[in-house]
């Protein structure tokens, strides 16, 4: 974003100016976190034991595939390859 100057071209705004929330902004994170806690599905890659490998595998599989189709394949994959080679 740029800010106009009095006698010249616009100058870039600082990161702090760009990131500063307005005084009347409603905090969004509280209701989003509350909704997630009430509605989140129990998925294997969200569990602590999934580890980085399990999360990465799920990210690749979920890129353009619905969760219900990924679940059985994810379980089979990790049964066959529980950790990277």
Active site residues per annotation: 59
Three-state SS at 84 = coil
Return the beta strands (E) in the chain as ranges.
2-5, 8-12
Listed residue (35, 75, 42, 31) closest to 57, CA to CA: 75
């Amino acid at each position: 974003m740029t800010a106009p100057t009095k006698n010249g071209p616009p100058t870039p705004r600082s990161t702090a100016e760009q990131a500063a929330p307005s005084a009347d902004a409603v905090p969004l994170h509280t209701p989003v976190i509350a909704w997630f806690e009430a509605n989140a599905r129990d998925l294997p890659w969200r569990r602590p034991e999934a580890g980085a490998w399990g999360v990465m595998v799920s990210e690749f599989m979920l890129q353009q595939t619905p969760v219900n189709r990924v679940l059985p394949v994810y379980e089979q994959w990790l049964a066959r390859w529980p950790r990277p080679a």
